[in-house]
Each structure stands twice: as structure tokens, then as C-alpha cells.
Chains A and B, each alone.
Chain A
Amino acid sequence: MLSQEHNDTLTRVGPGTPMGELLRRYWYPVAIAQDLEEFPVKRVRLLGEDLVVWKQPDGEYGIIQERCPHRHASLAYGVVEADGLRCGYHGWMFDREGSCLDQPAEPEGSNFKVKVDVFTGRAQELGGLIFAYLGPDPSPQLPRYEAFVMEGIRDIGHSVLPCSWLQIMENAVDPHHVEWLHGRYFQFLAEKQGFTAPGAFQKKHVSTAFDAFDHGIVKRRLLEGQSEESDDWRIGHPLVFPYQMWVGGNGLYQMQIRVPVDDETTWFLLYTIHKPEGVEPPVQDGPIVSYEFPFLDERGHHIVDYIEGQDVMAWVTQGRIADRTAEHLGKSDVGILMLRRMFKENIAAVEDGNDPLGTVREPHEVVELPLEKDKFGAGYAFATQWIDQGSMRYSPQKDALKQLHLDAAIERGEVELEEVDS
């Protein structure tokens, strides 16, 4: 249980709030790069701020407040020029640094443009996503996490969810939900609706552990029948502070990204890389496939017969902002206590003028993160079950992805192959 004041501190992300000031020290995806190839201007929303991101002819990206400071028309309907973005209404033009370069209707020789302030952030492309930074200068490096630079076939499923990003992050340090939400509940649905639920998620948790590290919290689980030498316990996988989780296994690698759009809205992305062992690393041919996955049916009920649909149900039904004054945390929730403390510690760090956890200042090629390889001891079946019974079932390249993992499993001579196909 938290007091209302603590809950407000942890969930309010707008400008000037303690959490908002912390979160503004990080880079966030705001658009899929391919979208700007199709049209070079896009309205986005991040941390409670309405913004416009655009791609210039030289390949650089800019991000600017949505409202033109002249008459507040939306710059999402602006014109991309060689040097910046021009408002579609009266032609005021701004560069990526926020300088007003042109006010074509003003008298010749007027210096009015130097009086105009406009907010701009920083924007960069990495791994097919456009990342934005809205915090103070000097901006930190955009961390080149392994997910965004490694070889393999990429697949981006995404959806905008009507709930606070914190609810989703707390789920990332809640290992027990896997056994119940994706285990028992999935099995219950399968029995009622006549399908087969994935067995890998039904294993009982014997122990869980959480360790702070340079980029967040490593989560470990020991499942029934596993030894302490298992990947799930010995290596685990990390919550990447403050808004991501790196997870995978058996040739699948996934950065789960929870972008705080505002206090009550999250852009949830499942950024998956397929790189099974046993075959040459597959080469991405053409644009990265991205698609929106549904989480409500035509009646407005949650779609719960796939893994992430179950997660979304659990996050969204807590309410737009969960009422933590009425919760009852138990011993199995210590990961959540640790995460809340980590947020408070880093809010304080920023208030004291320091860089928060995970800030990268040095140029680098890649930031590697710990990640188990043999997930739940499930082998090839884990990959195919994740594709068939997770959000990737909505991917336009689903069949090709399954074939890739099947070919690799054949090359490896995995015994699970016959069992899965039977």
C-alpha cells in the first residue's frame, strides 16, 4: 500500500513533476522509422507533451512542440524544408535547435523571429525506431542496447494502452504472474474453449530473486524441476530502467518497451529479433515489419487467448492509474518494492544534479545486457509457442518466422521437433 501522495509522485510524468523530470533524462521511441519514410511528418505524444517529429531531406530527424508559437496551429501539418519544418498556416519555419528561421509575412528587415521561443528536443533513428530526448542539454548518448543493433529478423508489434506505464513496469518485476496469468488462467481458458495452452508457462516458481545492476534490475526465477545452474536462475533477464524489459530465449530476443505517453496512456511495443541458433544469422530484407495488435474484441472485452493480451488485461483493468492506496502487497511482491524504491532514489539523484541509473555518456557500439538463452527449459517449443500464442500471431510475417525457427531446429536436430509437430 502506498499513500496517495506517493502514488501521485510515482505516476505523474508531465513537465515539472518529480517523475517527469527523472523520465526526461532518457531517450524514448516515438515513431517507427518506416512511418516517416512514407510521410516525413508525424504527430506524437510523449511524457504528457504534444510534439511533432519530422525527417529532413539530409536524413536527420527533428522533434518540436506541436503548436506553432504564432497562432498555435499544429505543426503536424507543416512542410518539411531542407533546413527545418515550416508551419502550414503562415509559413513560419523552425530548425532542429528551435530557432525561428523565417516569418515570410512579416516586414522585410523585421527581427521579430529572434523573440520567438519554441521547444525542441533531440531525435535519432536506431534499429528502425525514432527515439526522442526531451531533457536538458547536454543530452546523454542514445544507448545502443543489443536489441537495436544485433543481427536477425525484426518484428515490431505495438499498441496504445489506456493505463499508466508504471503498471506495466511493475509487471516486469512480478515473476509469479507468469505461472498464473500465462499458466493456470491460460490452461483454464484452453479447457473451456478447446485449444492447447503452452505448457512452458505452467511450471511452478520455487524461488525468485532481484539484483540491481547498472541498467536496472535483473530478475531471476527458479522453477520446479530446475537446478540453480539453469539459465533462468543463473543469468535471468533484466528490467531496463526506467521503461523497458529485455527478455527472450531459444532464438527469440525481445525488448519490451513501455513508452509513457502521458499519466494514463502507454505506447507498448514488442520489439522482437529472430536469430535462432543452427542457421546463418538471417538478414533483414526490406523494411522492418510493424503492425498494431488488438487487445479488445468487438464487444469491448479483452482478448485473453494470447500471452500479451492476458498481460494487457491485467494492466488495463487496474484502472488508468492503479489505486495503490487500496492494494495489498505480499512477500511475493518484493520486486515491486525494489522498483518503487529505485524510482525514488533516482528522482532524488536528478534533483541533486546527478545522472540517474543507466545514463550513457560515452560513445559506444553496443550495450550488452544479461539474458538467459534456454528459457524455461522448453527448447524449440518455446519459440513456436511464443509466435503462435503471443502477439506475433498478428504479424504479417508469422509463417516465415515459424519456418525460420523450424529450419534451425532441424539443423540442430532437436528432439522436441517431433513432439511439437505431432
Chain B
Amino acid sequence: MNHLHDLPRYCPDCGVTLTEEDDLAVEYWQGEQRIYHVWCRTCSWAGDITRVRRMVGHEPAD
């Protein structure tokens, strides 16, 4: 898998182009889900961005 092909390119808050030089995007995994932890230098937004392949609803307890 090319782990860079869907590297977030824009800040979800201010919309600025995210660059290798100034901003940060680190990939990590939760189960089978790939997540990018992103920090935007321009507006200081920090958070996780992930591709959703299947919407999962509430899972009732047994």
C-alpha cells in the first residue's frame, strides 16, 4: 500500500494547503482503520482524519 497517496492535503479547519515543511501528518492504525494525525501550523488545528469505508452504527451490548 502506498501510505502517502491519501496523505491529507488541506487543513479541515482553515483550508490551507498542508505542506511537508510546515505542518505534520502522522499515520497510525486503530484496528484495521488507518488514521492520520494532523497538525496545521496556520490555524493550530490538530486532530485525526480517517477514510470511512463502512458506516457502523450503535452496537448494543450483549
Residues of A within 8 A of B (CB): 1-3, 5-6, 9, 325, 328-331, 333-334, 337, 340-341, 344-345, 348
Contact = CB atoms under 8 A, between A and B. Distances in A.
A330 B28 contact: yes
A329 B4 CA distance: 15
A348 B28 CA distance: 23
A114 B3 CA distance: 55
Contacts of A2: 26-27
Given A2-B26, A5-B20, A344-B24, 16 more contacts: A1-B3, A1-B26, A1-B27, A1-B28, A3-B25, A6-B24, A6-B26, A325-B3, A329-B28, A329-B29, A331-B29, A331-B30, A333-B28, A337-B37, A341-B24, A341-B37
Interface of B: 3-4, 7, 20-30, 37, 39, 41, 44, 46
Given A9-B21, A329-B29, A330-B29, A348 B46 contact: no
B30 A330 contact: yes
Contact of A6 (B25, B29, B44): B25
Contacts of B46: 341
A261 B24 CA distance: 25
A241 to B, nearest CB: 16
B22 A337 contact: no
A234 to B, nearest CB: 26
A344 B45 CA distance: 13
A341 B27 CA distance: 12
Nearest to A330: B29
A3 B22 CA distance: 13
Contacts of B27: 1-2, 329
Nearest to B41: A348
11 contacts: A2-B27, A3-B4, A3-B7, A5-B21, A330-B30, A331-B28, A333-B28, A341-B37, A341-B39, A341-B46, A345-B44
B28 A344 contact: no
Nearest to B4: A3
A344 B4 contact: no
A348 B29 contact: no
B29 A344 contact: no
Contacts of A9: 20-21
Contacts of A325: 3
B30 A340 contact: no
A396 to B, nearest CB: 43
A331 B4 CA distance: 19
Contacts of A334: 28
Contacts of A340: 24, 26
A331 B27 CA distance: 11
A3 B41 contact: no
A337 B7 CA distance: 16
Nearest to B19: A5
A331 to B, nearest CB: 5
A273 B41 CA distance: 40
A216 to B, nearest CB: 17
A334 B28 CA distance: 9
A3 B39 CA distance: 14
Contacts of A329: 26-29
Nearest to B20: A5
Nearest to A345: B39
Given A3-B7, A344-B39, A344-B41, A337 B21 contact: no
B12 to A, nearest CB: 16
B26 A337 contact: yes
Scoring B23, B26, B29 by chain A CB atoms within 10 A of each residue's CB, the highest score goes to B26
Contacts of B23: 344
A330 B34 CA distance: 9
A3 B19 CA distance: 11
Contacts of A348: 22, 41
Contacts of B28: 1, 329-331, 333-334, 337
A412 to B, nearest CB: 44
A6 B3 CA distance: 14
A366 B44 CA distance: 32
A54 B46 CA distance: 45
B44 to A, nearest CB: 8
B17 to A, nearest CB: 14
